[in-house]
Amino acid sequence: MKIIATLLLIMLSFNIFAQKDSAHYHPNITRKLYYLKPLQKVNGAYYYGERRLSGYNSLEVPFFELNNSEVNFHYRRYKTFTSIGQAIGFIPTIYVLATLNKPRTRQNGFYTSTYLSIIGATLAGSITFSLLGKSHIKKAVIKYNQALGQNNMSNLQLKTDENSLGLTLRYNF
């Protein structure tokens, strides 16, 4: 009984200090405050400050750094809808694998009307869930910028100089 009580007190003492910040133990450590930048959408691409993000999944870091429940809710809904849309894409594969060894399909081939309807429904479902996910990402960006106190308009001005590459159109008379 004494051993159990001793182990319980030792575990309790470890748990008391488990959630302390490292600055509590080392007073010479200073905390750095990282300021969040607004998100802007220019020509279908999101920019964090002046850096272009590679995709919608790159928005996860600024969203969770803000730690806003509504922004996190919309981002999680985006992740859910895109996962469902991707999972729907496997339905034709499952159908083909399920009907592969049936003697009726080996002789006559696949049922084309059934297979085409499954592909059409899969395509429609995948596109629908993808659009629903993108609408939630847009809502999350709007709420993120509102939480930062920024407007929803994109005010990003890309800097160009003499060495910038581009395409021009000239017409001479």
pLDDT at residue number 165: 60
pTM for this predicted structure: 0.63
Give residue-wise pLDDT tens across range 13-30: 665 555 555 555 566 655
| 52, containing H or E segment | strand 51-52
- Whether the pLDDT of residue 84 is over 90: the answer is yes
Residues 134-167: tens digit of each pLDDT? 999 999 999 998 888 765 555 545 555 555 565 6
Query: What does the pLDDT read at residue 85?
Result: 92
What pLDDT score does 97 carry?
Answer: 80
Which pairs from 3-6 meet CB under 8 Å and 24+ separation?
A: none
Region of poorest pLDDT, from 25-29, 30-34, 50-54, 61-65 = 30-34
Q: Is 49 helix (H, G, I), strand (E, B) or coil?
A: coil
Over range 45-50, report the average pLDDT.
86
| Nearest-angstrom CA–CA distance, 66 and 148 | 9
Distance CA 19, CA 64 (A): 20
Q: What is the pLDDT of residue 133?
A: 94
**What confidence score (pLDDT) does residue 126 get?**
93
Domain boundaries, the chain: 67-148
pLDDT for 123 equals: 92
Sheet with 45-48, strands from edge to edge, namely: 39-42, 45-48, 51-52
With bands split at pLDDT 50, 70 and 90, how would you rate the model's confidence at 74? Answer: very high
Give dist(CA 54, CA 48) in Å, integer.
11
**Residue holding tokens 């592969």?**
100
90-133 confidence digits (pLDDT tens): 888 888 787 777 666 555 555 667 778 888 999 999 999 999 99
Given this model, what pLDDT does residue 110 score?
Answer: 56
CB 132 within 8 A of CB 81: yes
